[in-house]
Structures are given as C-alpha cells and as structure tokens.
Amino acid sequence: MATIIDMPKLSDTMTEGTVANWLKNEGDAVASGDVIAEIETDKATMELEAFEDGVLLKQIIGVGGSAPVGSPIAAIGEAGETVDIPAAAAPATEAPAKEEPAPAAPTAPAPTPAVSEPAAPAAAPVTASGPVKASPLAKKLAQEAGIDLSTIKGSGPNGRVVKKDVLEAQKAGPAPAAAAAAPAVAAPVLPGQQIAVDEEIPVSKMRSVIAQRLTESKTTAPHFYLEIEMDSAPLLKLRANLNKELAELPPEKGGIKFTVNDFILKATTEAIRRVPAINRSWNGTTIKQNGSVHLAFGVAIEDGLLTPVVRDAESKSLKQVALEAKSLIGKARSKKLTPNEMSGSTFTVTNLGMFGVSSFYGIINTPNAGILSVGATIDKPVVNKAGEIVPGKVMKIGLSCDHRAIDGAVGAQFLAELKKIIETPSLILV
C-alpha cells in the first residue's frame, strides 16, 4: 500500500510550506534517506528526505504549490501501484518557470531572527548564471577537494551535482584554467541594452516573512542609534599571530583558522558580560533580563539570511565560539539548521565589513533589544597618544537599540566596553 508523505513541520513557526523543487520525478526509485524535494518554509528552503524505499508514485503538490503542515504532498510505494489522493489534497498548479537572476550581495535580514544585514558571506555556490544545484554531500566533497562546483556537470535530477559527479571530477583532474577562472559577474552592458529582464518576481515565503518582521520591528520598537570608532590593529595583529601558529595544524592537534567575525562574536559576548543590561527583551508589561548570552549572527543564503545562534556564548572560549559558528554556517549552507538553532537569541551581530561597507545600522531583531552592526576596517590617518598623525586602522561599529528596554547610557557603556576589549583583544583569551 502506498505511503502518503505529508508536508513536514520544519520550523517552530511554520504553518504551511511551498514545494520549491522536486529532486525525484514520478516513477523514480527512492531509497530511505534520499532527498526527494526542497521545501520552502518561513525560515529557509530545507530538504525533504524519504523514510522508506520504493518508487515516487505521485507528486501531489507541484513545484510552486503550497500546502498546510500535515497535508499530503507525495506518495511512495511499489511500481504500478494505484494512489488514492485524499480529496482535500488536490494537486496544486505548478508555478511557471522563471529565470533565476544571479544573487547580489544580500542586504535583507534573516526571517528568524530578523536582522538587517549578513554577518558572514555564506551564500550558496554561484556561477555567472546563478546558484549551483548540488547535494550537501557533493558540496562538502567539492569543498574538501578544492573543486569548483560550477565546472561539474550534474547527473542528478534537474542537473543536480551529486557525490559521484564530484568523485569523477577528482579523477579527471583540475578543470582548464579558463573555465575555473570564469568571472562571477555579468558581462558589461552595451549602450542601449537593459541591465536585466523586466519581470515580476514572485515573493518567496522567506522574503514575505522578512518583510513582515522587519516592518513589525521598525513600527513597534522605537530605534535609537549609537556609533563608535575603534582601533582594530591590535585585534588584526592577534588574529594574524594565532592563525600563523594554528591554521596549518590538523584539527586533532588544535588547528583552527580564526576569522575577524570570530573575534567580534567573542568580544561582543565579553562586553555583554560587563554590561548585562544590554541583554534584555521588551515584554510589554515587563522587561526580561536574560541571564545567558545567546548570540545570533547572520549567514547569507540565496533568498535572504539565516541567523543561527551560539547558545551560552558567555561560557565558551574563543575557539569554541569559532568552531560552533563554523559548524552553524555549514549547516545554513546545506539547509540543515534545526528550528532550535535559529531561535531564542538574546542579542544579534551583523557584519558588512567583508563588502567594504564602513558603517551602517541594523534593524533590531525583536525580541532582542539591541543589534550590533560591524563595518570594514579602513586605513586612515589617526592621532596617536603622543599627538602625532600616524597611519591607523579604524573600524566603525554601530548599535541599534530598542528604547523601550534600553536607554542611551546603557548603549554607550556597552560600546565603551566593547572598544576596550577590541583594542586590547588579549582580554578575550582569559
């Protein structure tokens, strides 16, 4: 007897899902553990696995179709078996195919928690024409082997790159230099040509939630903004020294390569420890003082951002924070984040420094009462303690606060402590 697969509940706030893509066609053999579809939720596009062997008999919901959680979307059974589709689950009309534009640098926030900008450039692999469709295992193998996924022709459903494609590419050796060096930007537009095709782009579920939650944040939380300049040279020097000693070591011998964002996350945690009043939430009739630092940070994906959470960051070392952040980024890229890993934050960090943006202000990720916005390090003349004008490395950091829960003095104290820590970064190692 055919087994009906229902729309799964993939996030704590999910009430319905949309079939973004079928990775198995009707009539295809399916093994337990195979990814058969990509489901778009209110938080991300996530993979749907089969839990038994058989044949995909029916795609009850077509690509682009939506269904409430718990309603039938597919059937798996034996070849030739008849499928009785429940009356309430009439097949949805497949959405018209549309050309996917190459993703630009994301500037909108993750739906949960909602922030305004990404903290790390963690988008899916892209080519000049758009994202590369590949299984999580294929992406992992390609990354480990240093293979550009855009040079591999996928043999999976809809041209998806799978494990065997990567292994065959390894055996074949490196791709020609010209292919590997293909630019990831569009060709120059000639006079009289449009920069893009005029079209109405359907709003995805994730983008819809982003719009809703950003609007709620800006209209319900009275924002105020503070900014401070910091000397980032000591932090950059410490990072370089640590990476010089540790980056080449294998993980089992303590090897690790720290990013600037790892230091920012840890420094932020230590500043919150010193000024815990910044770690609050507005609850209407009460203000909640959070006892632990559950630190969210943005990870850019194809259609927005995800904000995974480093829990109990105050009890973790720089290395522990870095390793956990790296793991969460990997899960975000491969659509493996769980709802628990994306919820419950008490403070958020957002970073646009890697894009050369010198300063900006994020939109508060409610119910957090504050969000830190990290800009790029800029080389500029500064006046040293001796009154001399010398070359310097300056980083601007902005802070957006919910004035219902935090006053200006608290925000200023927090930034002052953060400045001390970043300018004396050895403090985060003790």
Residue of 156, 174, 186 whose CA lies nearest to 28: 156
| Pairwise CA distance, residues 396 & 228, whole Å | 6
Cα within 13 Å of Cα(350), Cβ side:
32
Q: What is the CATH number of the domain that holds 56?
A: 2.40.50.100
Cβ contact 271:403 at 8 Å: no
Q: Other C-beta atoms within 10 Å of 223: how many? A: 15
* 372 and 226 share one domain: yes
Among 77, 102, 137, the domain boundary falls at: 77
pLDDT of residue 388: 93
Task: Sheet containing 309-310: give its strands across.
Answer: 223-231, 389-402, 370-383, 347-351, 295-297, 309-310
**pLDDT, mean of residues 147-167:** 75
Q: What is the CATH number of the domain that holds 294?
A: 3.30.559.10
Cβ contact 411:287 at 8 Å: no
Whether 398 maps to a domain, the answer reads yes
Give tens-digit pLDDT for 165-209: 888 787 765 543 333 333 445 567 778 888 888 888 888 777 888
* 132 and 174 share one domain: yes
pLDDT of residue 93: 41
Among the ranges given (34-48, 97-111, 176-190), the one the predictor scored with the smallest mean pLDDT: 97-111
Residue of 424, 359, 120 whose CA lies nearest to 228: 359
In the annotation, is 223 catalytic?
Answer: no
* 236 and 379 share one domain: yes
pLDDT of residue 327: 94
CA distances from 276 to 141, 191, 372 (A): 42, 57, 15
| The overall pTM is greater than 0.75 | no
Among 45, 60, 77, the domain boundary falls at: 77
Q: What is the CATH number of the domain that holds 156?
A: 4.10.320.10
Residue with tokens 């480990």, as numbered in its chain: 144
pLDDT of residue 210: 81
* 260 and 382 share one domain: yes
Structure tokens at 381: 């003349």
Whether 313 maps to a domain, the answer reads yes
Whether 341 maps to a domain, the answer reads yes
Whether 404 maps to a domain, the answer reads yes
pLDDT of residue 112: 40
Q: Is the pLDDT of residue 305 over 50?
A: yes
Among 41, 62, 77, the domain boundary falls at: 77
Residue of 387, 386, 355, 391 whose CA lies nearest to 373: 355
Whether 376 maps to a domain, the answer reads yes
* 301 and 400 share one domain: yes
Q: How many domains does the chain have?
A: 3
Cβ contact 310:321 at 8 Å: yes
- Of the candidates 12, 148, 312, 403, the residue annotated as catalytic is 403
| Pairwise CA distance, residues 232 & 393, whole Å | 6
Among the ranges given (89-93, 96-100, 243-247, 347-351), the one the predictor scored with the smallest mean pLDDT: 96-100
pLDDT of residue 12: 64
pLDDT of residue 228: 97
* 221 and 358 share one domain: yes
* 278 and 314 share one domain: yes
pLDDT of residue 2: 80
Give tens-digit pLDDT for 207-216: 888 888 889 9
Give tens-digit pLDDT for 250-286: 888 889 999 999 999 999 999 999 999 999 999 999 9
Percentage of the chain exceeding pLDDT 70: 81
Beta bridge partners of 127: 130
| Pairwise CA distance, residues 305 & 368, whole Å | 17
Tell me the backbone φ, ψ of residue 354, rounded to 5 degrees.
Answer: -65, -15
Whether 44 maps to a domain, the answer reads yes
pLDDT of residue 63: 86
* 156 and 228 share one domain: no
Q: Other C-beta atoms within 10 Å of 211: how many? A: 15
* 13 and 134 share one domain: no
CA 220 remoteness from chain centre = 25
* 237 and 363 share one domain: yes
* 310 and 413 share one domain: yes
Listed in sequence order, the residues at least 6 apart from 61 whose beta carbon sits closer than 8 Å to its beta carbon are 7, 19, 67, 72, 73, 74, 89, 91, 92
* 388 and 267 share one domain: yes
Whether 186 maps to a domain, the answer reads no
Give the residue numbers spanning the domain of 70: 3-77
Cα within 13 Å of Cα(219), Cβ side:
6
Residue with tokens 């919150």, as numbered in its chain: 272
Q: Is the pLDDT of residue 140 over 70?
A: no
Whether 115 maps to a domain, the answer reads no
